Amino acid sequence: MKDFQNKVAVITGAGSGIGRALARDLAAAGARLALSDVNQVGLQETADSLGLGSDRLITEAFDVADRDAFYAFAERVTGHFGAAHLVFNNAGVALGATVEDMSYEDFEWLMGINFWGVVHGTKAFLPHLKAAGDGHIVNVSSVFGLIGVPTQSAYNASKFAVRGFTEALRQELEMEGGRVSCTSVHPGGIKTNIARNARMGAGVEKITGDVDKARRDFEKMFRTTPEEASQTILKGVKGNKRRVLIGSDARAIDSMQRLMPTAYQRIMVAGQKMMRK
């Protein structure tokens, strides 16, 4: 897809961060927008900042883990605009917890949003993208979909799953002719609220020491702005990239994993021990 003019773009997690930046960039490029977020206040703030009429913008607050709500949203979008061309499955949450101490409730909550939300968005809109004859699905994974990290097993599981799901879908779409495509996106540290709003489960202090300090230290590593991330993603869509890495840290982590596919784990353990001091 080389042009976003008049394309209908669906964005989840549009109430802040990368989702909000994507909405602004796509609006500037002439797209029509269908925005969602579980946070009604943030979603309305994004909508207000765009200054678009109902001919170019609709919004709906719902939880992407709710399959029925997502399918109802897809019907509303296509009923309102007559088509859908772009889907950005961007909504996501974070959880810090050790495998031993993590509750099933927290694990299921995260997987419902980070993985099942991507599945719901993909399956709800894919038939509409095919009907439009020109479409692209963007599924946001993470650098934690490339490497495993202590206290991030649930997040890792969800983001590895998004990557595998998207890469398999990409091949299926190519075998069907490639009129609809998809991209797996792997952001590094982005200056959003995801770490600040993360749930912290039991046992994290055994690995990180002071949990609040660990959270602050982690946020200090966030270098890339949501606006930079949005521009990189949209460039990847235009180039029909299979995988998009966002930020120098993402590129470094990708290289580390390729060069040291298992030995990188020793580096992660050493880094965690240093951060505890």
Please state the φ and ψ torsions of residue 207, each to the nearest 5 degrees: -100, -45
Please report, as a single letter, which amino acid is at residue 11. I
The answer to whether residue 155 is catalytic is yes
Token pair belonging to 162: 């998004």
Q: What's the rounded Cα separation, in Å, for the pair 12 and 37? A: 6
Q: Which of 71, 104, 155, 264 is catalytic?
A: 155
Residue 214, judged by CB atoms within 10 A of its CB (0-12, 13-18, 19+), counts as buried
Active site members? 155
